[in-house]
Amino acid sequence: MRRKTGLWTRIADRVNRFRGKTVERDLGAYARELERIDALARELDLQAASDRGLVSRAAELRRRARSGQSPDTLLPETYALAREAAARSLDLRLFEVQMIAALALHRGRLVEMQTGEGKTLAAVLPACLNALSGRGVHVLTFNDYLASRDAAWMRPVYARLGLEVASISEGMDAAARRSAYRADVTYLTAKEAGYDFLRESIVRHPQDAILRPRHFAIVDEADSILIDSARVPMVIAGCDDVPGDAQRTRLARLAGSLRPGEHFETDENRRNVYLTEAGAEEAERLLGSGDLHAPQNLGLLTRLNQALHARVLLERDVDYIVRDGRVEQVDEFTGRVHRDRHWPDGLQRAVEAKEGLCLADQGRVLNSITTQHFMRLYPKLSGMTGTALPADREFAEFYDLHTAIIPPNRPCIREDRPDVLFADLETKHAAVEREVRAARARGQPVLIGTSSVQESERLARRLRAAGIDCAVLNAANDEAEAAIVSEAGAPGAVTVSTNMAGRGTDIRLGGSDERSRERVVESGGLYVIGTNRHESRRIDRQLRGRAGRQGDPGVSRFFISLADPLMQRFGIGELIAPRRASRIEPGRPIQDPAVHRNVARVQNIIEGQNMDIRRTLWSYSAYAEEKRRAQHEARSRVLAAGEPGLLAGSRPDLHAALLAELGAVALAERERQIGLHFLDLGWSSFLAHLADIRESAYLNVVGSRDPLQIYLEHAAAAFEDMQAYVETSVAESLEAARASGPELDPNELRGPASTWTYLINDNPFEWQLSIASPRQIGAGAWAAVLAALFWFVPVGYKLGSLLRRGWRKRKSE
Amino acid sequence: MPSIFGSLAKIPELRKRIVFTILMLGIYRIGVFVTCPGVDRGIVQKLMGTGGGLFSLFNMFSGGALRQMSVFALGIMPYISASIILQLMAVVVPAIERLQKEGEMGRRKITQYTRYGTVLLSMIQGMGIAFYLESLRSNLGEPVVAEPGWGFRVMTIISLTAGTAFIMWLGEQITERGIGNGISLIITAGIVAAFPDAVFSTVTFVEKGIMKPFTLFIIVVVAVLVVAVIIFFERGQRRIPVQYARRVVGRKMYGGQSTHLPLKVNTSGVIPPIFASSILMFPATLANFIDKPWMQDFQQALNPGSWAYMTIYVVLIVFFCYFYTAVTFNPIDVADNMKKYGGYIPGIRPGKQTAVYIDKVLTRITFGGALYVSAVCVLPTLMIQQFNVPFYYGGTSLLIVVGVSLDTVSQIETHLITRHYDGLTGPKGPRLRGRSRR
């Protein structure tokens, strides 16, 4: 890196920045900063300083930070100090590239650093720097296990600078969380941070608060958290005392008895299922319900649709697993199992009914926020990942994060071999098996990445049947799997995993202690086999990146088939010209480059579509987020000080009377309780309204109006209604309380009996987003066609006559 | 309405966008006065006053640029033609249809093709105009083009194509960084540009005593009324209630909007009258090229202003209203789509029954829409004949202007709403700022 960034790179960067591009490759500025840090370190002679000396320097830095000095001023000394601390505590001296990354992180960049480059350690430096002022730094990790592991691992380094570090995991109670948040640096998952925020948003007493104001967050595996999972809303729901639903079990059975094609049909992407006329009649017959589409049967029809959806579109072991009497979703991107992901409203219960489980409580949504919006609540944000491109534009657009690409410490010598393409799954798996066998013979370790739990199980069974021993990871137990993954580099090891299992743990060649490193290096390094393309090239790169860390040799290769779920879903069959299709021989790899291009094209299309969906969802959720912030503010005011304005403004007479009767303190308390109660109820209803409006907004395409506009109009009206409702209800309630006496009935106003948090899998009804494109061409359009045609007539005529004349002239010469 | 301007002043982003749009439109208008090279402007102007029929239609769409024979003479029409052609091809050619469905990548490709098509069409039409110009002479026999020949033709083609490409770029800039739909705004700007002139000549008429002040008063009243009627019908919708049976309805503590399927009274917009007048003008255009006596008689019978003309005009408009609605709005598709996402009209089975119902309702309201469009389009002829109004008011140009204005205003509204400010109008009608109900 000390080699200067090439001239072309610098020029290109400057031009790109002018054009609004968002990727930084010219790291010259950072290199210069690093030189200054090195110079300072030499000047202060840190390497020779005593431990006590370091500690006192750190204390001085903290003092300066708290007294108001900006982190930028303190940066050189802090980084130099931290580097020394790391060297002493962990015996790890930060590489140049790690220092550059640390500098970029402080500047609020998204850093792309390849796997194994030491992101965890690099993140410690900006965390220290920004924690000096005592305002707290959050490091958001990929899962709970990594949060506690990294916190424990880095604690000695932080300790040398006098900083406290803590971690938060799923089961911790409020008191433990509160003290964890008080630490200088807190390691936790983005999800837990979001949930804590949501829990905070419905507290009834100021002393229940556990969060400090947000300050700075460093997001690890940023592309997964900020892009892939970003649009998933985090939800906190309250139980509503709705008893379990026996009708659903009946409906589940009914749905099972309906026949495909005859009673119901699915759409081309298999995202929606609906009853045919015959199906509706059959259901009516079996249920004895009369016209299912009559207004009074709305609830019944809804539950039947959900039962149908659960039966037809959701498959056990692909979309979800059943464990401990509960339904747990499998994430489509990462293959992870999520205990706390629910399908929206009622679909979850339909799935539970289908599996014959005890139905969980149905709750009312109290508040929700998407990961996207939650991240934006941090005043300062930065991130790191092994794969930022090609999503860099999204990072810039949604999070204002510009990407900085950090070159690897040692150049990557991994060999990425070209894809092997088959016509069907069986041949593909057979080929994979052969490949694994060959690698085993060489003593080369193999890591196989599959796209679903189902496929990984299937492949593992096949390999074992062939006498090849393999370990299977499906992200069920992060800690155990981290141990398994760290051994995946041992000679002859075969590990089958879904995409995200074991992330964050380096695979060292020759086993976790590198005992057989020589042997593995000779056999060619780690061999990563992908069994299909993923929805984004980025995720493909993630998989490849597991091999070839720190200049190690390695190989990666993708084995794909035309029958893969992804290819099938997006209709690869139609893309391939029939004559080429007929030339495909089953049982042998497809060599035709045109077919390979088609496969790449499918992936491109899917990427574009996903980007579209994310963008559209962004526009729809932006409004809700604004309102949420407004609501949050109003609520905080009421929570803190029992704002008198709530009543005094709208009903001054009532206010005066109550003031006389109860006195200021009691009135304030009562206003606070009642205010919070109705604010929460109103907000919850507003969220329900938004969901309804969103569902039907697309119908306005028919009226050639932009659905988003209609949605916004209706949402604004709903919000106003909500405000009016809250005002009126508060006034009425206080009035009623006055009539019934000074004691408030505690039952009336309590919050929900229990609350729980979950993520909504908003996917199931792949929504109407794709068709919501209003016609852009308006008036006069067709006229232009006619006009153009009318021009053709005379022009053609004139040209014709000119040509004829010229021709005749030629002939006569 | 002081509140809008107040709001506008407070939202810098909105202000920037509006200013930008006005700037771009200003550039467009200035460009209209840049004459095509090789053409004598003075002579062209002398000539153009007497153009009729098809020519005036084109002139309207080119925003008066045709009269000036400016580089913008072709207007934005080649672009619109190209996109329509591409849309038509999407129905026929499966490769293009697939592109449409492919999300962002596909759309970008289609936009590229559209741009190529625009250039191609501009070149062809440019050639036509070059020929046309060469054949023009003023009453005194002065040629419009001093040096005809292939050099002139090529230069004209290049200039006109460049002009159209520039307008295309302006339109896209407005859509991206300004407010409203750039292309529609450019067309509207062109139409509206004729307005001050019309006002001026009307006032002159009154001053010179050609027109009585009372007549002027009537004209103004009629003008306002017509605009009001247009707004009323353009916003007019028959709302069919729709239920969704996919999600369990959350418990809502207060009432809300019901979801509905909006069927516009005038689904086909401005297209039918344009089709109708194009067809009616075809004989006239042909007559320019075919010099036969029976052609001239035919043309005389169909003279705009004659009762024969107006009757046929109305019949054609009604016909095209139904025709275009039938082509662009497919009740079966809508019903299928609703069924797919779990929507249905309460009391009516999803699928075929729903399609039949929607079709029935649509047929009925389209009739009303067709009558209204005919009335608006016949109006200018009446005004010119009965009231000696010196300008063309009504018909397609007015429909376009009002339609685009409504669209743009609702877009501004959206910006207002998303910045905490109440919209100007809402599903419940116009609202003042703050709470006005309960």
The secondary structure of A129-147 as a DSSP string is HHHTTSS-EEEEESSHHHH
The B residues from 354 to 413 touching A (CB cutoff 8 Å) are 396, 399-400, 403-404, 407, 410-411, 413
Q: Side chain identity at B206, as an amino acid letter? A: V
The minimal CB distance from B248 to the residues A277, A302, A695 is found for A302
Inspect the interface and report whether the beta carbons of A274 and B342 lie closer than 8 Å.
yes
The CA distance from A193 to A196, in Å, is 5
The CA distance from A333 to A535, in Å, is 8
The A residues from 714 to 733 touching B (CB cutoff 8 Å) are 714, 716-718, 720-725, 728-729
Q: Side chain identity at B183, as an amino acid letter? A: I
What pLDDT is stored for residue B364 in this prediction? 92
Residue A526 has pLDDT above 80, yes or no: yes
Residue A301 has pLDDT above 60, yes or no: yes
Pick the more confident residue, A338 or A73: A73
Q: Closest approach of chain B CAs to the CA of A415, in angstroms?
A: 30
What pLDDT is stored for residue A597 in this prediction? 86
- Chain A residues within an 8 Å CB radius of B438: 724, 728
Quote helix, strand, coil % in chain B, to nearest 5: 70, 5, 25
pLDDT band for position A766 (cuts 50, 70, 90): very low
| Token pair belonging to A16 | 């790109």
Rounded to 5 degrees, what angle do the CA atoms B180, B181, B183 make? 140
What pLDDT is stored for residue A803 in this prediction? 65
- Chain B residues within an 8 Å CB radius of A291: 347
**Structural domain total, chain B:** 1
| Token pair belonging to B24 | 């771009």
Find the closest chain A residue to B238 by CA distance.
A703
In angstroms, the Cα distances linking B386 to B213, B226, B390 are 15, 17, 11
Find the closest chain A residue to B188 by CA distance.
A779
Q: Averaging pLDDT over each range in A22-26, A51-55, B259-263, B420-424, which range is the top one?
A: A51-55
Residue A200 has pLDDT above 60, yes or no: yes
Task: Extract the runs of DSSP E, i.e. beta strands, from A371-428.
Answer: 380-385, 402-405, 415-416, 420-422
Pick the more confident residue, A191 or A4: A191
Size of interface A-B (CB pairs under 8 A): 294
The minimal CB distance from B414 to the residues A306, A684, A709 is found for A709
Rounded to 5 degrees, what angle do the CA atoms A379, A380, A385 make? 140
Residue A520 has pLDDT above 80, yes or no: yes
Inspect the interface and report whether the beta carbons of A728 and B438 lie closer than 8 Å.
yes
DSSP conformation class of A418: P
Question: Which residue, among B235, B244, B241, B233, has the nearest Cα to B357 in the 3D structure?
Answer: B241
Find the closest chain B residue to A307 by CA distance.
B246
Q: Closest approach of chain B CAs to the CA of A96, in angstroms?
A: 39
Q: Averaging pLDDT over each range in A331-345, A589-603, A684-698, which range is the top one?
A: A589-603
On whether residue B16 sits in a domain, the answer given is no
Contact (CB, 8 A) for A371 and A234 = yes
Q: Closest approach of chain B CAs to the CA of A293, in angstroms?
A: 5
Residue A180 has pLDDT above 90, yes or no: yes
The CA distance from A733 to A745, in Å, is 11
On whether residue B137 sits in a domain, the answer given is yes
Quote helix, strand, coil % in chain A, to nearest 5: 55, 15, 30
Hey, is the C-beta of A625 within 8 angstroms of any chain B C-beta?
Answer: no
In angstroms, the Cα distances linking A20 to A24, A228, B16 are 11, 24, 19
Q: What is the pLDDT along chain B (438 residues), one digit of tens a residue?
A: 445 666 666 777 788 888 999 999 999 988 888 888 877 777 666 665 555 555 555 666 566 666 677 888 888 878 877 877 777 677 677 788 777 777 677 888 888 999 999 999 888 888 877 777 776 666 666 666 777 778 888 888 899 999 999 999 999 889 888 888 888 888 888 888 878 877 787 788 778 877 777 877 887 888 888 889 899 988 888 888 888 877 765 566 666 666 788 888 888 777 788 778 777 766 666 665 556 666 666 666 666 667 778 888 889 899 888 887 876 777 888 888 788 777 888 888 888 889 999 999 999 999 989 999 998 888 877 777 776 666 666 677 888 888 888 888 888 887 777 665 444 333 433 333 233 222
Contact (CB, 8 A) for A385 and A223 = yes
Contact (CB, 8 A) for A449 and A498 = yes
Q: Closest approach of chain B CAs to the CA of A567, in angstroms?
A: 14
Q: Which residue has the tokens 């053609």?
A: A796
Rounded to 5 degrees, what angle do the CA atoms B124, B127, B132 make? 130
Residue A32 has a CB neighbour count (10 Å cut-off) of 9
Inspect the interface and report whether the beta carbons of A779 and B242 lie closer than 8 Å.
no
On whether residue B368 sits in a domain, the answer given is no
The CA distance from B313 to A266, in Å, is 47
What pLDDT is stored for residue B424 in this prediction? 39
Share of chain A above pLDDT 70, in %: 83
Q: What is the 3-state secondary structure (H, E, C) of A166-217?
A: EECCCCCCHHHHHHHHCCCEEEEEHHHHHHHHHHHCCCCCHHHCCCCCCCEE
The CA distance from B280 to B275, in Å, is 9
Question: Which residue, among A232, A315, A309, A222, has the nearest Cα to A267 in the 3D structure?
Answer: A309
Residue A292 has pLDDT above 70, yes or no: yes
What pLDDT is stored for residue A761 in this prediction? 61
Question: Which residue, among A333, A416, A570, has the nearest Cα to B105 in the 3D structure?
Answer: A570
Question: Which residue, among A308, A271, A272, A269, has the nearest Cα to A292 in the 3D structure?
Answer: A308
Longest dimension (CA), chain B: 82
What pLDDT is stored for residue A335 in this prediction? 64
Inspect the interface and report whether the beta carbons of A705 and B262 lie closer than 8 Å.
yes
The CA distance from B388 to B382, in Å, is 9
- The dihedral of CA A83, A84, A87, A90: what is its sign? negative
Average pLDDT, chain A: 81
Give the three-class secondary structure for A808: helix
Contact (CB, 8 A) for A561 and A424 = yes
On whether residue B399 sits in a domain, the answer given is no
On whether residue B36 sits in a domain, the answer given is yes
The B residues from 74 to 103 touching A (CB cutoff 8 Å) are 77-78, 80-81, 83-85, 87, 98, 101-103
Q: Report chain B's C-alpha Rg in angstroms.
A: 25
On whether residue B186 sits in a domain, the answer given is no
How do beta strands A363-370 and A185-189 pair? unpaired
Q: Closest approach of chain B CAs to the CA of A762, in angstroms?
A: 12
| Token pair belonging to A60 | 């001085």
Q: What is the mean pLDDT of residues A782-802?
A: 54
Inspect the interface and report whether the beta carbons of A685 and B348 lie closer than 8 Å.
no
pLDDT band for position A111 (cuts 50, 70, 90): very high
pLDDT band for position A139 (cuts 50, 70, 90): very high
Inspect the interface and report whether the beta carbons of A787 and B58 lie closer than 8 Å.
yes
pLDDT tens per residue across span A684-720: 888 888 887 877 777 776 666 777 888 888 888 888 8
Which residue range is the domain that position B169 belongs to?
A: 32-178
Hey, is the C-beta of A597 within 8 angstroms of any chain B C-beta?
Answer: no
What pLDDT is stored for residue B415 in this prediction? 77
- Chain A residues within an 8 Å CB radius of B285: 790, 793-794
Q: Which residues contact B164 (CB under 8 A, 6 or more apart)?
A: B72, B74, B75, B76, B78, B79, B118, B122
Q: Closest approach of chain B CAs to the CA of A724, in angstroms?
A: 8
Q: Which residues contact A219 (CB under 8 A, 6 or more apart)?
A: A140, A190, A225, A226, A375, A381, A382, A383, A384
The B residues from 276 to 335 touching A (CB cutoff 8 Å) are 278, 282, 285, 288-289, 324, 329, 334
Hey, is the C-beta of A763 within 8 angstroms of any chain B C-beta?
Answer: no
Pick the more confident residue, A334 or A254: A254
Hey, is the C-beta of A785 within 8 angstroms of any chain B C-beta?
Answer: yes
Question: Which residue, among A348, A237, A78, has the nearest Cα to A680 in the 3D structure?
Answer: A237
On whether residue B155 sits in a domain, the answer given is yes
What pLDDT is stored for residue A387 in this prediction? 86
Hey, is the C-beta of A372 within 8 angstroms of any chain B C-beta?
Answer: no
What pLDDT is stored for residue B34 in this prediction? 84
Q: Which residue has the tokens 């006559």?
A: A801
DSSP result, B346-399: TTS-TTHHHHHHHHHHHHHHHHHHHHHHHHHHHHHHHHHHHH--SS--SHHHHH
- Chain B residues within an 8 Å CB radius of A682: 253-254
Query: pTM, whole model, 2 decimals?
Result: 0.75
- Chain A residues within an 8 Å CB radius of B249: 298-299, 302, 688, 692
Query: Among the listed ranges A59-63, A93-97, B426-430, which one has the minimum average pLDDT value?
Result: B426-430
- Chain B residues within an 8 Å CB radius of A245: none
What pLDDT is stored for residue A769 in this prediction? 40
The CA distance from A784 to B20, in Å, is 27
Hey, is the C-beta of B263 within 8 angstroms of any chain A C-beta?
Answer: yes
Q: What is the mean pLDDT of residues A516-539?
A: 88
Determine phi and psi for A374, rounding to 5 degrees: -65, -40
The complex scores an ipTM of 0.72
Q: What is the 3-state secondary structure (H, E, C) of A460-504?
A: HHHHHHCCCCCEEECCCCHHHHHHHHHCCCCCCCEEEEECCCCCC
Hey, is the C-beta of B430 within 8 angstroms of any chain A C-beta?
Answer: no
What pLDDT is stored for residue A186 in this prediction? 96
Hey, is the C-beta of A298 within 8 angstroms of any chain B C-beta?
Answer: yes
The CA distance from A782 to B80, in Å, is 8
On whether residue B400 sits in a domain, the answer given is no
Q: Side chain identity at B236, as an amino acid letter? A: G
Q: Side chain identity at A686, as an amino acid letter? A: F
The minimal CB distance from B285 to the residues A704, A788, A790 is found for A790
